[in-house]
Amino acid sequence: SSPVPINSKEHYAKPQKKHELKFILFRRNKPPSTFAAPAGASTFPHHLCSSRSPETMQTCLRRSGQQLLRGSPAFSPAIQSAHPLSAEHEAHHVRYASTSTIAVKGVGHLVRKGTGGRSSVSGIVATVFGATGFLGRYVVQQLAKMGSQVLVPFRGSEDSHRHLKLMGDLGQIVPMKYNPRDENSIKAVMAKANVVLNLIGREYETRNFSFEEVNHTMAEQLAMVGICFCLLPIPFLSGVLDVIAKEHGGIMRFIQVSCLGASSTSPSRMLRAKATAEEAVLRELPEATIMKPAVMIGTEDRILNRWAHFAKKWSFLPLIGDGSTKLQPVYVVDVAAAIIAALKDDGSSMGKIYELGGPEVFTIHELAELMYDTIREWPRYVKVPFPIAKALATPRELLLNKVPFPLPTPNMLNLDEINTLTVDTVVSKDALTFEDLGIVPHKLKGYPVEYLISYRKGGPAFGSTISEKLRSSEL
């Protein structure tokens, strides 16, 4: 039978299947002239796509898009070269590839709508692994503040991510359950992202996850899965090709967060695993950006909070060694800002390693003095030599995988952290820093440590040192 003309009443009479209805509505909203092939492109009988077979319709659409890409001068040569029709389609079926195809222009070309606030559209769809951790909440907040959609993979309870949903507009923070040991689960949370941030890390081991698995193996697996999504072909639909290419054009940026001091010669197992992860990520994705923050200070940190809680409970603070080890602590908000700055540039930060340290270098003793000064307690220290500290922390490491129950999380005596404190951890002289990202880091004394006020005895306006001074002046 002869095909029914598109503009005839019979064509819109009674569609019998759902796919026919969708296609007819799509065609009715456009005048017939908009479906004409561009100059130089071969014609194609679009009316055949109204057949009642879904497979036939998909085939017709695919062939039509291929002809438009091959013959139309309206499509730039860059798009045609970036998305070939045969080789890339076959590469999609390859499990992993040896080199990545991340664009070298970053995400600056993505579509943006609005004034730049939370209800705007930045064009960024970011999968943030480790979003439920200390640094993760600040990165999610800054991404959501600029109108990005954030996919939050989590493996814990449903309550682990609820504080993040308040940071973005409705539907912009998307929690997704996943298993870090399941490749298909990782692919599911990376499928529609164009930016991947890996913030996964842990400073102690458990019975289920070792240093190497958490800090190295997972990072390498994310990079290898990222290569797959860099090679995915874009659907060849002429009407929406530009939008799909911008929203789901594969992974454009990969940022790996490591640790300052990560080295293959470090006395710390965690830092050695982080160094191996850096090499693995750059081997799989040479365009990836590596961030190496120093010890991070913030409301939920695990150094000053831990010290203040111990000092309030036991009235003294143990100093590992003699307290002369040098650190360069950094405000966690500055680290999150550095990640966003690297994400928003024109691609100049791709393939580079940044060492993010604060503007001041402290010894352990000086940092403890700052803590005591903020919580208004009289400083009392007990110096613990390294051999004794290691002897006290070793039993947990020996019994970790030998007892049939989980052991407590190490607090003040973590063997790996004790090994880390045997050497100074400061920014290298020739390293890329905050200055190269256009950021001026905050000094610690002041607002960054104001959260310690909650440990003051008697309330925020009081404290042991202030109260005793007041009482002595009254006498």
pLDDT of residue 195: 94
CB atoms within 10 A of CB 64: 22
Structure tokens at 186: 């990782």
Sign of CA dihedral 157, 161, 165, 166: positive
Report the C-alpha gap between 385 and 387 in whole angstroms: 6
Low-confidence spans in the chain with pLDDT less than 70: 1-111, 230-249, 467-475
Phi (first) and psi of residue 60, to 5 degrees: -65, -45
The whole-model pTM stands at 0.75
Under 8 Å between Cβ of 430 and 353: no
Phi (first) and psi of residue 5, to 5 degrees: -60, 145
Under 8 Å between Cβ of 237 and 66: no
Query: What interhelical angle do 134-145 and 332-344 show, nearest 10?
Result: 50
| CB half-sphere exposure, 168, CA atoms < 13 A | 30
Q: Provide DSSP, 220-231.
A: HHHHHHHHHHHS
Output DSSP code: residue 471: H
| Strand (E) or helix (H) holding 151 | strand 149-154
Report the C-alpha gap between 420 and 128 in whole angstroms: 27
Under 8 Å between Cβ of 171 and 231: no
pLDDT of residue 62: 44
Under 8 Å between Cβ of 130 and 296: no
Model pLDDT for residues 18-45, shown as the tens digit of each residue: 444 443 333 444 444 444 444 444 444 4
Under 8 Å between Cβ of 176 and 193: no
* Domain limits, the chain: 295-330+358-428+442-474
Q: Are strands 362-363 and 326-327 parallel, antiparallel or unpaired?
A: antiparallel
Under 8 Å between Cβ of 61 and 49: yes
What residue has token string 């697996």?
Answer: 221
Query: Domain spanning 295-330+358-428+442-474: which superfamily?
Result: UDP-galactose 4-epimerase, domain 1 (3.90.25.10)
Model pLDDT for residues 233-282, shown as the tens digit of each residue: 434 333 333 343 344 558 899 999 999 999 999 999 999 999 999 999 99
Report the C-alpha gap between 295 and 325 in whole angstroms: 13
CB atoms within 10 A of CB 416: 19
